[in-house]
Amino acid sequence: MQASRIVSETFAPLVDLIYPPRCPLCGDGLAAQKGLCFSCWETLSIPGEPACRKCQRPFTDMKMVGGSTVEFLPGHTCAPCAAYPPKHDGIAAGTLYNDTARQLVLSFKHGRRIALAPMLARLIAARLPEMQGEWLAVPVPLHRFRLWRRGYNQSALLAREISKITDMQLLVDGLLRTRATPALGGLGREQRAQTLGGAITPNPRRQTAIEGANVLLVDDVLTSGATSNACVAALKAAGAKKVMIGCFSRVLDDAS
Percent of the chain with pLDDT strictly greater than 70: 79
Task: State residue 244's pLDDT score.
Answer: 98
Whether residue 166 has pLDDT greater than 70: yes
With a cut of 50, say whether residue 65 has pLDDT above it: no
pLDDT of residue 211: 97
pLDDT the model gives residue 205: 96
Which residues on adjacent β-strands are paired with residue 200?
Answer: 177
Q: Which CATH architecture has domain 45-250?
A: 3-Layer(aba) Sandwich (3.40)
Amino acid at 20: P
Report the interhelical angle of 99-109 vs 117-127 (nearest 10°). Answer: 130
Per-residue confidence at 34, pLDDT binned at 50, 70, 90?
confident
At 12 the pLDDT is 45
- For the residues 174-191, what does the mean pLDDT come to? 75
Query: What's the average model confidence in pLDDT over 177-204?
Result: 76
pLDDT single digits (tens) 103-153: 999 999 999 899 999 999 999 999 999 888 899 999 999 999 989 999 999
Other beta carbons within 10 Å of 145: 11
Which residues make up the CATH 3.40.50.2020 domain(s) of the chain?
Answer: 45-250
**Residue from 152, 102, 129 nearest 216 by CA:** 129
Tell me: pLDDT of 10 over 50. no
Q: What percent of the chain has pLDDT over 90?
A: 57
State mean pLDDT over 199-223. 95
Residue 197 is predicted with a pLDDT of 73
The C-alpha torsion from 36 through 39 and 41 to 45, rounded to 10°, is -150
Asked whether residue 97 carries a pLDDT value surpassing 90, the answer given is: yes
The pLDDT value recorded for residue 14 is 43
Q: What is the pTM of this model?
A: 0.85
Q: How far is CA 174 from the centre of its chain?
A: 16
Torsional class of 86: left (φ above 0), alpha (ψ -120 to 50), beta (otherwise): beta
d(CA 165, CA 131): 13
- CA gap 207, 230 in Å, rounded: 17
Q: Is the dihedral of CA 74, 78, 81, 86 positive or negative?
A: negative
Mean residue pLDDT of the chain comes to: 84
Q: Which residues pair with 217 in a beta bridge?
A: 138, 245
Collapsing DSSP to helix, strand or coil, 180 comes out as: coil
Is the model more confident about 158 or about 146?
A: 158
pLDDT at position 161, please?
A: 97
pLDDT in the model for residue 142 = 93
CA–CA–CA angle 216, 135, 208 (5° rounding): 100
| Angle, CA 88 vertex, CA 145 and CA 212 arms, to 5° | 90
The Cα-based distances of 111 to 19, 23, 24, 37, 122 in angstroms read: 19, 15, 11, 20, 20
